[in-house]
């Protein structure tokens, strides 16, 4: 049963915190909202979890807040519970990062008359996991809730916060990246970026940009035989390939632009045809992707290295960074691939892909059918 005095006190406490926060909100919207929601979440958690307010108190408090602050948005009963969840998850996580400041005078939240709405704005010092309070505070509350609901560990939460802020992910894109388990695949591909790229910052950008596994089927243009120009109408086939790899291009990564497939290179009378060519705005570099069926072979690195040298000499603009190469194959021994790639002087990485048979039926239906492409080529 509800106690009217407790309800009145709760309404006044939360209302005062909201009003104080609104004065500061214009200066730093996200950080102010997050800090307010964390403070309210703590207040609601301490009172509701111990049954101090009684059944239905959160719903009653929400109704009263809307009556006393007409036009107030974001403080429904459901949202108050979201704030509680936000506090409870991060209260535990912060313990492994840094000590969280205590409530003023160590009073119980059931008796204090003020919610500390700036707890998250105090300086946080990492004690293990890398943590940047400014990055944390710059992400919207809804983004935080998506991360909380879809992740299980602090390391995952910190990873998705950094990526969402850095890459300006929408709520939908963030949700999709978590569903695809980007965290488990981050930065694991064998590469020589640190050794071969202009500076360490550029190298780390590249490591974060590429996944070690792509959940899309491949188009091995070497396999389907389009190198012999005399047998095909290259323009028609190229359009069919571009159409069918649309999903691959869109999922390949952030800031990638498709330049062309079977990109024609010629030097000293020798013609070369890299499978796919992209440009990445973030890296300010062309990216060559070679698609290979089966296991990784060391000979792929030599072929890719030759493509990169020709493109750097003949295609790359003066203001662009050196071209990056990526080999996509079905399987590899990561330790071996990491070992052999270090001996090359062009920036390259090696990743794997899953075949269409490994994918869910819903995703499988959106991918190109290799047999259909082969038949299409035979009849052109």
Residues 146/175, Cβ–Cβ less than 8 Å: yes
**Contact in structure between 292 and 254 (CB atoms under 8 Å):** no
Scored b (16 or more CB within 10 A) or e, 167-190 reads bebeeeebbebbeeebbebeeebb
Specify the DSSP class assigned to residue 247. Answer: H
CATH classification code of 193-378: 3.40.1350.10
From first to last of the 380 residues of the chain, give the pLDDT tens digit: 567 778 888 888 888 888 777 655 544 677 778 888 888 998 899 888 876 787 788 999 999 988 988 888 888 999 999 999 999 998 887 776 643 333 333 344 444 345 665 666 553 444 444 567 778 888 889 999 999 999 988 888 888 998 888 777 889 889 988 887 777 766 568 999 878 987 767 877 787 788 888 765 434 434 444 444 333 343 443 344 455 555 565 556 667 888 888 899 999 999 999 988 999 988 999 999 888 878 999 999 999 999 999 999 999 999 999 999 999 888 899 889 989 999 999 999 999 877 555 544 544 454 444 444 345 434 43
- Beta-strand runs (E) in 249-360: 256-261, 265-267, 270-272, 276-280, 285-291, 324-329, 348-353
* Domain locations along the chain: 4-123, 139-183, 193-378
Which residue in the block uniquely carries the two structure tokens 């309800």? Answer: 7
22-37 in b/e form (b: 16+ CB < 10 A) is: eebeeeeebbbbbbbb
Other CB atoms within 10 A of residue 231 CB: 12
Q: What tokens were used for 189?
A: 């591909």
Give the CA distances from residue 158 to residues 53, 131, 151, 175, 224, in Å, rounded to whole numbers and listed in that order: 33, 7, 10, 15, 43
Six token digits for residue 144: 């935080």
Tally helices (H) and strands (E) across the chain: 17, 8
Token pair 């570099």: residue = 285
As a whole number of angstroms, the distance between CA 184 and CA 294 comes to 23
pTM, two decimal places: 0.48
């Amino acid at each position: 049963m509800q106690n009217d005095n407790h309800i009145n006190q709760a309404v006044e406490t939360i209302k005062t915190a909201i009003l104080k926060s609104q004065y500061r909100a214009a200066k730093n919207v996200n950080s102010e909202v997050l800090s307010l929601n964390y403070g309210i979440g703590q207040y609601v958690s301490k009172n509701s979890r111990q049954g101090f307010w009684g059944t239905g108190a959160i719903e009653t408090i929400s109704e009263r807040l809307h009556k006393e602050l007409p036009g107030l948005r974001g403080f429904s009963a459901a949202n108050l519970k979201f704030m509680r969840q936000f506090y409870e998850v991060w209260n535990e996580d912060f313990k492994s990062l840094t000590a969280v400041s205590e409530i003023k005078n160590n009073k119980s939240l059931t008796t204090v008359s003020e919610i500390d709405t700036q707890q998250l704005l105090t300086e946080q010092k990492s004690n293990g996991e890398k943590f940047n309070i400014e990055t944390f505070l710059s992400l919207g509350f809804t983004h935080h809730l998506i991360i909380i609901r879809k992740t299980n560990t602090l390391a995952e939460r910190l990873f998705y916060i950094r990526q969402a802020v850095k890459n300006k992910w929408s709520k939908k894109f963030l949700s999709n990246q978590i569903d695809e388990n980007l965290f488990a695949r981050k930065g694991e591909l064998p590469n020589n970026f640190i050794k071969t790229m202009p500076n360490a910052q550029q190298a780390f950008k590249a490591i974060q940009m590429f996944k070690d596994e792509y959940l899309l089927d491949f188009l091995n243009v070497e396999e389907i035989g389009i190198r012999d120009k005399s047998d095909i109408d290259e323009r028609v086939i190229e359009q069919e390939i571009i159409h069918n790899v649309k999903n691959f291009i869109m999922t390949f990564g952030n800031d990638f632009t498709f330049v062309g497939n079977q990109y024609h290179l010629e030097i000293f009378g020798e013609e070369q045809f890299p499978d796919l060519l992209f440009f990445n705005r973030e890296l300010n570099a062309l990216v060559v992707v070679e698609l290979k069926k089966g296991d990784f072979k060391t000979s792929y690195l030599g072929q890719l290295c030759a493509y990169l040298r020709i493109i750097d000499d003949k295609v790359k603009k003066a203001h662009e960074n050196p071209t990056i190469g990526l080999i996509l194959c079905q399987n590899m021994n990561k330790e071996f691939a990491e070992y052999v790639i270090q001996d090359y002087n062009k920036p390259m990485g090696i990743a794997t892909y899953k075949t269409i048979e490994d994918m869910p039926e819903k995703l499988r239906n959106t991918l190109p059918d290799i047999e259909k492409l082969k038949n299409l080529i035979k009849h052109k």
